[in-house]
Amino acid sequence: MASKLAVSRTVGPVYLFLLLIVAAFLPSPTLSSDSDPLQDFCVADMKGKPSVNGFPCKPATQVTSDDFFFSGFTKEGNTNNRFGSNVTAGNVLAFPALNTLGLSMNRVDFAPGGINPPHSHPRATEAGVVVKGKLLVGFVTTENVFHSKVLTVGEMFVIPRGLVHFQRNVGKGKALALTTFNSQLPGAVLLPNTLFASTPTIPNQVLTKAFQVEEDIINKLKIKLS
């Protein structure tokens, strides 16, 4: 009996210590998206200088109901461009009331055959729903596995944070998706532009070796995307 007690007395603190170590290494929920706000709202004062993590708050006395509503998604985006798609951003820059709230949305319009080209969001996971038409939605994991599905109206998708993804309109008419992000400013790295139309451009020696093609192909891509 006495030795049983002695064992449980030593196992208890050891168990607690191990539990604390494991807990310390578990990802903190506040690291998975923008940090939590400390007040009801902080409508961005867009004239103020952005600080480390967002914009300064507009004085509460100047906040009106209108600050909390956004009509930027009422109009169809112009898809008359090389990709046949248009992203209307509903992030903190367009809708300052999102400041410190850790989320934002996009309206994405597609012409028939249009694509939202391969891109990634460095600061957010994306979820989306097809509102009109039929979209092929795909993303590639860090293990290079490609996941994709054709979605119709009402169907939803999720793109884990930072992974390269795209949508392509595979229906007969126009298509529309609404997407949402767990960041007020998710950022977008648009691969064709990032790789071939940066300022200044990435040296051809890097791109020819990376893509294993001759320089004329790289030059053509740079001209097309510039």
Chain residues binding ligand GLV by CB under 6 A are 87, 106, 108, 116, 126, 165, 167, 179
The secondary element (H helix, E strand) that includes residue 6 is helix 2-25
| Residue 185 · residue 104 · CB < 8 Å | yes
Q: Which is nearer to ligand GLV, 8 or 152 (CB)?
A: 152
Distance CA 223, CA 226 (A): 5
Residues with Cβ within 8 Å of 27's Cβ and at least 6 positions away in sequence, in order, are none
| Residue 85 · residue 108 · CB < 8 Å | yes
- Look up residue 218 and give its two tokens: 């790289």
Least distance (Å) between residue 135 CB and ligand GLV: 10
Least distance (Å) between residue 162 CB and Mn ion: 11
| Residue 83 · residue 115 · CB < 8 Å | yes
For Mn ion, what does the binding mask look like between residues 123 and 142, x meaning CB under 5 A? ---x----------------
Residue 108 interaction partner, one of Mn ion, ligand GLV, none, beta carbon < 5-8 Å per kind: ligand GLV
The alpha-helical segments, DSSP class H, found in 26-59 are none
Distance CA 165, CA 127 (A): 12
Q: Which is nearer to Mn ion, 109 or 126 (CB)?
A: 126
Q: Which is nearer to ligand GLV, 89 or 195 (CB)?
A: 89
Least distance (Å) between residue 73 CB and ligand GLV: 12
Least distance (Å) between residue 179 CB and ligand GLV: 4
| Residue 64 · residue 27 · CB < 8 Å | no
Distance CA 221, CA 197 (A): 9
Q: Which is nearer to Mn ion, 63 or 94 (CB)?
A: 94
Residue 103 interaction partner, one of Mn ion, ligand GLV, none, beta carbon < 5-8 Å per kind: none
Q: Which is nearer to ligand GLV, 41 or 73 (CB)?
A: 73
Least distance (Å) between residue 28 CB and Mn ion: 25
Q: Which residues bind Mn ion (CB under 5 A)?
A: 126
